[in-house]
Structure 1
């Protein structure tokens, strides 16, 4: 019996890229740090919120690389003169990646009370009906 994958299904033409995106996302190495939420704020609007306590705006970067939203955090070198009796607040660098569907764009980003909010919007495509002429062969 032949295994049928998403990219090889006869009714799904041109979706082989979707299968590659799923594989790339699985390999992106996203662990649980920092914790995050994803909310749908409207029919075509989403918000990703990351808990980034201790990171300033200059310590964070947000890029879109090949339809992949990448959030990186790296704090400046720690002050060597500080002596911690207990260190429970994580200060390690991180990278989070989210694959964006075609038509989903970053609308903006803000930090509030140690949370990084990234707003996404999906463009509503126009409905187009196209008639194809059939030529005699």
Structure 2
């Protein structure tokens, strides 16, 4: 039995979290078969993450990783079996798969490896220095000039323009 969640209260009370709410909305509509291949998402450090996917039977040249903006696409496509091979029982899945992961801002793929049927994708969040929080010193009132707003009309003095004589 599938339960559905009404996310409309979130839409009414949040500003600027459209992507997050869209992701939550998509998760509630996911079909059971789109969870293949199985995967884990781990936090490996303060700004380091790891995605591990079980892709037994796939070789590195049959898997494609593409990061486009804030989305990581993982596609797997088996090469056709050689002529003359007759499989009597297929227990290892060889169907193609497409999986996408929405990444937070400034998260980049730093590496990927395939070992023992597990695809491991290393990710790191690298926030540029100009976007990192910075502490702002507060000056004491004695050292700063007071900025006051003066609504009094100001008189602007103009120097008289000299007329040029035409000869």
For the superposition of Structure 1 and Structure 2, which TM-score range results when normalised by the shorter chain? 0.7 to 0.9
- Residue of structure 2 in register with 1:40 after alignment: 43
Of structures 1 and 2, the larger Rg is shown by 2
Residues 1-137 of structure 1 mapped to structure 2, 5 A cutoff: 5-9=9-13, 12-24=14-26, 31-124=34-127, 126-128=132-134
- 5+ residue gaps, structure 2, are 1-6, 137-146, 152-167
- 5+ residue gaps, structure 1, are none
Per-residue CA deviation, residues 82-136 of structure 1 (Å, 9 max, x unaligned), is 1122111111100111110112111111111221110011125511367xx9x89
SS at 1:5's partner residue? helix
1:26, CA displacement in angstroms?
5.4
Larger RCO, structures 1/2 (Cα 8 Å, 6+ apart): 1
Question: What TM-score do the two structures reach when normalised by structure 2?
Answer: 0.65
The total of aligned residue pairs comes to 131
